[in-house]
């Protein structure tokens, strides 16, 4: 018997368990336990958002009153609207800026490209907290107007969100561009297509899955961001995570559970829609492959 039975004992010479060493019962049990601990707190939180008791630990019967309360709380609702507005606008901008940057990096050779790529990687590695305080210092120093009418008042948060989202879009789009065949572009040009036509008719359809994936990532990054927004937002531009944070500081209440569940549902729904959008393309590719066509 070995010290660490990572595999079941070598009882069976024909292969069986030896070839599937991850199926030892204790490893499976450990994995099940880990996954349970990973999900139980969230599941319990969601269940207890329907609990008819303020004390929150013991089940007192089903109610949706905390959702009704949460959705009638003007501050919470305002935070939700802010969050969604910021997420949509910053996703749109990140998508354009990120995709165009990816196309540029893919197509052109230019002096200082290495340095540019290094700078693009910075937002992916710089700690949130450093970026948050940098944004706070920046907007305070240059005197970014604070009291603007509503959608404009969110502009500093949107600018910060685009700054940390668009490099992710660039990474995703570049990964897909690596599979692009120059011949397609050349064929289009030979047939008389200009820059714009090539972009709209050749590049965009080819990049669609990467753009959907990039948009999803940018949307969830923005919707979920707390740290950077916490340092960028003012008292009039509270987002849902910042609002939930200030509620959490007070206490654990079913209303916070309800607000949190709403935020989780928003992210999950966005992800499901994005997967749906990607699917037709994948089926089309599978069909092409089945017909013996060349997969792009």
Partner 1 sequence: MENWRRHPLVFWAMGLPGTVWLIVFFLLPLGFVWLMSFGEKRGIVDIAITGTLENYLRAFDPVYLGILFKTVRISLIVTILCIVIGYPVAYVIAFSSKRVRTWLLLAIILPFWINMLIRTYALIAVFRTRGYVNFALAWLYDTVGLDVLFGPFQPLSMLYNEFAVIFGIVYVFLPFAVLPMYAAIERLDRSLLEAAADLGASPSRTFFSVTLPLTRSGITSAILLVFIPALGSFLIPELLGGPNAYMLGNVIAAQFKKANDWPFGAALSFLLMYATFAVLAIRSLLVGRASTEREEIR
# residues contacting partner 1 (CB under 8 A): 95
* By CB under 8 A, residue 277 contacts partner 1: no
The whole-angstrom separation of Cα 294 and Cα 275 is 24
Q: Under a CB-based contact definition with an 8 Å cutoff, are residues 118 and 187 in contact?
A: no
Q: Which of 11, 38, 178, 191 binds partner 1 (CB under 8 A)?
A: 38
Out of 91, 170, 222, 237, the only residue in the binding site for partner 1 (CB under 8 A) is: 170
Q: Which is nearer to partner 1, 22 or 293 (CB)?
A: 22
**Burial category of 202 from C-beta neighbours within 10 Å (exposed 0-12, middle 13-18, buried 19 and up):** middle
- Contact assessment for residue 32 and residue 50, using Cβ atoms and an 8 Å cutoff: no
Q: How far is Cα 152 from Cα 251, in angstroms, rounded to an integer?
A: 32
Residue 184 binding partner 1, by CB under 8 A: no
CB-hemisphere CA count at 13 Å for 145? 8
Q: In the stretch 91-130, what mask flags binding to partner 1 with x, by CB under 8 A?
A: -----xxx-xx-xx-xxxxx-----x--xx-xx-xxxxxx
Could you tell me the CA-to-CA distances from 82 to 152, 227, 288 in Å, in that order? 11, 16, 43
Q: Which residue has the tokens 């509270």?
A: 238
Interacting residue with partner 1 among 70, 79, 80, 135 (CB under 8 A): 135
Contact between 187 and partner 1 by CB under 8 A: the answer reads: no
Shortest Cβ distance from residue 132 to partner 1 (Å)? 8
In the complex with partner 1, the residue whose CB is nearer, 276 or 288, is 276
Among the listed residues 136, 188, 193, 202, the single contact to partner 1 using CB under 8 A: 136
Contact between 185 and partner 1 by CB under 8 A: the answer reads: no
> Which 203-222 positions form the footprint of partner 1 (CB under 8 A)?
220
List beta partners, residue 51.
62
């Amino acid at each position: 018997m070995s010290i660490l039975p990572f595999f079941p004992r070598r009882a069976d010479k024909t292969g069986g368990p030896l070839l599937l060493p991850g199926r030892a019962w204790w490893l499976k049990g450990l994995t099940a336990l880990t996954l349970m601990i990973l999900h139980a707190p969230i599941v319990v939180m969601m269940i207890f958002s329907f609990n008819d008791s303020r004390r929150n630990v013991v089940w007192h019967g089903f109610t949706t009153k905390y959702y009704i309360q949460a959705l009638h709380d003007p501050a919470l609702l305002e935070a939700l609207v802010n969050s969604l507005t910021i997420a949509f606008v910053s996703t749109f901008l990140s998508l354009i800026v990120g995709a165009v940057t990816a196309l540029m990096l893919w197509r052109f050779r230019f002096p200082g490209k290495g340095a540019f790529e290094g700078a693009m990687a910075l937002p992916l590695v710089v700690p949130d907290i450093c970026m948050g305080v940098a944004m706070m210092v920046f907007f305070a120093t240059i005197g970014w107007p604070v009291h603007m009418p509503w959608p404009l008042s969110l502009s500093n948060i949107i600018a910060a969100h685009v700054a940390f989202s668009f490099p992710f879009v660039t990474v995703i789009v570049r990964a897909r561009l690596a599979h692009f065949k120059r011949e397609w572009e050349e064929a289009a040009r030979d047939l008389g297509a200009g820059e714009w036509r090539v972009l709209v008719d050749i590049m965009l359809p080819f990049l669609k899955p990467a753009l959907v994936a990039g948009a999803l990532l940018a949307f969830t990054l923005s919707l979920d961001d707390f740290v950077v927004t916490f340092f960028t937002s003012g008292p009039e531009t509270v987002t849902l995570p910042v609002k939930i944070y200030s509620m959490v500081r007070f206490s654990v209440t079913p209303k916070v559970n309800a607000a949190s569940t709403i935020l989780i549902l928003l992210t999950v729904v966005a992800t499901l829609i994005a997967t749906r959008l990607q699917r037709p393309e994948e089926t089309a590719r599978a069909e092409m492959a089945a017909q013996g066509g060349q997969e792009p």
